[in-house]
Amino acid sequence: MNHEEAARKLGIDPASLSPAPPAPRFAQAWARMQQEPPCSACGQPSRTSGVLNNQDHGPRWLDRCRECFLATPPTLRVPPSRFLQELHAVASDARLPLHTYTDEGGWKGE
């Protein structure tokens, strides 16, 4: 899910979030994560920071702790099976061993 969906699922009011640059560089997001601001949802120390672009309030920092991040995982841009195929190809080209595991039913939704 994207940042807007994550905020909605976690019940976060965008107006309560700190203003952020419209398109922060990785270094800016990394610097924010190093400060460990409180999670926007539960107040625990955050582990991830991203920018939520809200129509009414503009860009805002969305900080999530481990648990809130895991409850609102980002959406892969490709299906998991394709992602794994590409990952295996890259690992093979680099001659790195790679073992992946899924549950018995495979990927949900595929």
| Whole-number pLDDT of residue 9 | 96
| Whole-number pLDDT of residue 19 | 96
64: number of CA atoms within 13 Å, CB side?
A: 23
| pLDDT > 50? residue 110 | no
| pLDDT > 70? residue 104 | no
| Whole-number pLDDT of residue 78 | 81
Rounded mean pLDDT of 15-26? 93
Selection from 60, 47, 64 nearest residue 21 by Cα: 60
Is the model's pTM score more than 0.85? no
Q: With beta carbons less than 8 A apart as the criterion, state whether 52 and 72 touch.
A: no
Least confident of 45-49, 61-65, 67-71, 83-87: 83-87
